[in-house]
């Protein structure tokens, strides 16, 4: 598997809010070394659509990670805006329910067709990787994280979404339940060394996640905190390539 194919699967989490110029310095540094830049709540709240536009002008693609979760009509209208913004990927919370996800999928298809724009990958967020079984019990759920993830993944598939965001530990079960054409984006990817202050609980390395069947990997701190971020990104691409070969 080529490094280029592996690189398309690597998403860098551009979730720093300290300044627009700093954010764009990461884009300039890592363009050509990662496949997409994830713009989350921190960065988007501070910098807005301008950041998305500048990333696209730099020749890179954007994963808009705002996790829309509201009544169906509101999320569908927000999805239309994401399509018009030209993002390659965005997400909604699967816990918003079947109607919300189905209306979103329909709005994306219709807007892309009317505007003659590419359809973005639309993902359902299952269970945040910062949550484990104890956290779910505290929230009043009677099922495990694995059971809830699978239930939400099936619902997202049936609603017409492109895939889900899920922990690598849940990938094999999702793949079996939802099929090969269902995209799985995995956050919480780490290197062999733990990162100080890490709040993720269900994590795996890049190679392990790809071997289990993840399609895209979201990586933040292991690149941000590395002495040589470019070298760290390139090493993650090599890990992805090894995982693809093994798979």
Determine the Cα angle at 110 with ends 109 and 113, to 5°: 85
- The catalytic residue among 9, 38, 57, 67 is 67
What helix, strand, coil percent values describe the chain, rounded to 5? 50, 20, 30
Residue 79's SS3 state is helix
d(CA 240, CA 236): 6
**Residue 67 is a catalytic residue:** yes
d(CA 215, CA 92): 18
Q: Which of 159, 207, 148 is nearest to 182 (CA)?
A: 159
Which residues does the annotation mark as catalytic? Answer: 67
């Amino acid at each position: 598997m080529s490094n280029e194919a592996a690189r398309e699967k690597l998403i860098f989490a551009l979730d720093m809010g300290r300044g627009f110029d700093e954010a764009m310095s990461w884009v300039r540094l890592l363009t050509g070394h990662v496949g997409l830049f994830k713009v989350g709540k921190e960065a988007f709240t501070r910098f807005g659509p301008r950041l998305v536009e500048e990333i696209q002008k730099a020749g890179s693609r954007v994963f808009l990670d705002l996790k829309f979760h509201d009544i169906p009509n509101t999320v569908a209208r927000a999805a239309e805006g994401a399509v018009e913004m030209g993002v390659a990927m965005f997400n909604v919370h699967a816990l918003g329910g079947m109607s919300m996800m189905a209306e979103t999928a329909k709005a994306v298809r219709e807007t892309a067709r009317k505007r003659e724009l590419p359809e973005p990958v639309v993902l359902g967020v299952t269970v945040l990787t910062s949550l484990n079984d104890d956290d779910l019990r505290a929230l009043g759920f009677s099922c495990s994280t694995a059971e809830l993830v699978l239930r939400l993944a099936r619902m997202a598939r049936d609603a017409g979404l492109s895939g889900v965001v899920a922990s690598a530990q849940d990938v094999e079960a999702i793949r079996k339940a939802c099929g090969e054409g269902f995209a799985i984006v995995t956050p919480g990817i780490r290197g062999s060394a733990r990162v100080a202050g890490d709040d993720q609980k269900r994590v795996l390395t890049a190679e392990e996640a790809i071997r289990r069947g993840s399609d895209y990997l979201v990586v933040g701190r292991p690149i941000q905190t590395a002495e040589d971020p470019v070298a760290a990104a390139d090493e993650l691409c090599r890990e992805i390539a090894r995982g693809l070969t093994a798979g």
